[in-house]
A and B are shown apart, each in its own frame.
Chain A
Amino acid sequence: MSFDPERPMGTPETEHAPFRRHPLDSVLRSEVLPHIWCPGCGIGVALGAFLQGLDRAKIPVEKRVIVGGIGCSSRVVYYAKADAYHTTHGRAIPFATGIKLANPSLHVTVFAGDGDLFAIGGNHFIHAARRNMDLLVVCINNFNYGMTGGQAGPTTPHDARTTTTPFGNFEIPFNLPQLAAAVGAVYVARWTTLDVRRLRDCFAEAAAKQGFRFVEVLAPCPVSFGKNNDIGSGLDEMDYYRGLEQIWGSPAGLPERVEVRTDGDLSGTDISLHRPIIVGKFVDRARPTFLDNYRSAASQAKGSAP
Chain B
Amino acid sequence: MPPEKGIALTGSHFMLGDQACAEGAIYAGCRFFAGYPITPATEIAERMAERLPGIGGQYIQMEDEIGSIAAVLGASVAGVRAMTATSGPGFSLMQENLGLGFMMEVPCVVVNVQRGGPSTGLPTSVGQQDMMQARFGSHGDYAAIAYAPSSPQEAFELTVQAFNTAERLRTPVLVMMDEVVGHMRERVVIPEEGKRTVVSRRLPSVPPSEYLPYRVDEGLVPEMALAGGGYAVRMTGLTHDESGRAVTDTETQSVLLPRLLRKVSEHREAYELYELRRAKDAEVLVVAYGITGRSATGAVEAARARGMRVGLFRPKSVWPFPSEALLRAARSVRRIVVAEINMGQVALEVERVLAGRCPVVRVTSPGGEVLAPELILDACAPDRGEKESR
Contacts and interface: CB of A to CB of B under 8 A. Distances in A.
Interface of A: 29, 32, 61-63, 65, 67, 77-78, 81-88, 90-91, 93-103, 105-106, 123-124, 127, 290, 294, 297-298, 301-306
B237 A87 contact: yes
21 contacts: A81-B232, A83-B225, A83-B231, A86-B235, A87-B73, A91-B66, A94-B62, A94-B67, A94-B70, A94-B71, A95-B71, A95-B74, A96-B74, A97-B62, A97-B74, A98-B72, A98-B75, A102-B227, A106-B78, A294-B53, A306-B51
Interface of B: 9, 32, 34, 47, 50-51, 53-54, 58, 60, 62-64, 66-68, 70-80, 82, 96-97, 100, 104, 225-238, 245-246
Nearest to B51: A306
A102 B75 contact: yes
Nearest to B235: A85
A301 B68 CA distance: 23
Nearest to A96: B74
A99 B75 contact: yes
A94 B32 contact: no
Nearest to B97: A88
Nearest to A127: B63
A78 B245 contact: yes
A102 B232 contact: no
A102 B79 contact: yes
Nearest to B63: A127
Given A298-B53, A301-B54, A101 B235 contact: no
B209 to A, nearest CB: 13
Given A91-B97, A99-B77, A62 B228 contact: yes
Given A62-B230, A88-B237, A98 B47 contact: no
Contact of B80 (A102, A294, A302): A102
Nearest to A89: B96
Contacts of B47: 306
A304 B51 CA distance: 9
A112 to B, nearest CB: 13
A102 B53 contact: no
A82 B58 contact: no
Contacts of A102: 32, 58, 74-76, 78-80, 82, 227
Nearest to A60: B230
A83 B58 contact: no
B52 to A, nearest CB: 8
Nearest to B7: A305
A103 B228 contact: yes
Contacts of B233: 83-84
A78 B234 contact: yes
Given A87-B73, A101-B58, A124-B63, 8 more contacts: A82-B232, A85-B234, A97-B34, A98-B73, A98-B77, A103-B80, A294-B53, A306-B50
B60 A305 contact: no
